[in-house]
A and B are shown apart, each in its own frame.
Chain A
Amino acid sequence: MCEWESRLAAWLDRELTQDEDIELELHVSRCAQCRSRAEAYERTSRAFDAYCDAVTLAFARQKVSSSKWAAVAAAVAALAVWALLTARPRAPITKPAPLPHVTAPTRSALAREVPPLEPPRSSPREPSFINRASLSRVQTPNAATPARIQGGRFLLPEPAVEIDIPADALLPPGAAPAGTNFLVDFSVAPDGSAQAIRLTPQLTGLDRRAAQP
């Protein structure tokens, strides 16, 4: 074994001093064994680089692949949430009451993209009543259907009034989490009385936190 062989890699990497570099270069030009070994080291270094590139490429591809699956999973999850939200049962009114007056939609109603309310129908409708049996999860055949979609817009099934009431107005301070509101919706009977009153808690504070930078 040539005494210079142990420094060939450092010579290829230009890690030697200038004097050592010149001396070894002169030696390599005359020593066939060192020249051959130096060439093998150089090829090996290039192959190692190619191998590292292949490793990087392989795992970059896996990253793209997993990103695609993540997007698909997110889309499926969003679809499931949408389905759950739209399938929520509305007030269990078995026989809907006619709308006596056009009431201005509340802010929350506007948020649901409620279209303008239809004018009262000419034909009189029977007085509405609450079928208490339908309050359970087992609905009667005439139970009110949930919100439906028409032309890409959500439509509430029946004319209703909705009011947002802060939790502090109904409960003692601290009884409900901060930012909790209650959505009260009800129908108005022909005699002016409220029918089918429903109270739904809403965590409006979550939206505010999300809006903060």
Chain B
Amino acid sequence: MTEDSLPLALPLSRLGAKNREANTLYEELRKPLLRYLLCLGMSSDQAQDVVQDAFLSLQRHLASGGSQENIRSWLFRVAHNRARNQQTSYERRFGAPLGSAVDAIADRESPERAVLEKEKLRRLGEAIKTLTQTERECLLLRAGGLRYREIGEVLAIPTSSVGDTVERAIRKLAEKCNV
């Protein structure tokens, strides 16, 4: 297991005294957090609220002398738990047809290629629905740039289980989609 995750441990005094570090952290992680929450099935408003709450919690966490290690996985874990508490189901998100969004992506290609891209995304959407919740969450966090160790911290599962879960999920998708 490599240890090349982003060095996001920030000294509390620097975070409090200089907004630049806090802003950098926010700019770096806001979009991945939003994407993760949206893909979990939250609405745009809900996701933005959860992201803001997560960063506020981070400030309180650091101000109260909390650990400054693994800030990225800490933020994802807070956001993940809040999303779990709020959300009823994210089946609708991965199960819902993407419509114009798929069109927008496919339109970047030539007409023939666009048809193939749309079909590929449609099949992938169907395949994603067959994954277990943990498998989806592992892939989503992996797509957000988290290392296996960080994914394990977010989902509270061992790192070795993350590796097995990612492997199993990718294999399922590859076999069903044949992309």
Contact = CB atoms under 8 A, between A and B. Distances in A.
Interface of A: 6-10, 13-17, 37, 40-41, 43-45, 47-63
A8 B163 CA distance: 10
A41 B125 CA distance: 16
A61 B100 contact: yes
B112 interface: no
B174 A40 contact: yes
A41 B170 contact: yes
Contacts of A7: 163, 167
A10 B173 CA distance: 16
Contact of B177 (A14, A16, A44, A56): A44
Interface of B: 1-2, 4, 34-35, 38-39, 43-45, 93-94, 98-102, 104-105, 120-121, 124-125, 128, 139-140, 142-143, 147-148, 163-164, 166-167, 170-171, 173-174, 177-179
A52 B39 contact: yes
A51 B99 contact: no
A15 B43 contact: no
B93 A48 contact: no
A48 B139 contact: yes
B102 A54 contact: yes
Contacts of B102: 54
A60 B42 CA distance: 12
Given A52-B35, A55-B38, A40 B179 contact: yes
B174 A59 contact: no
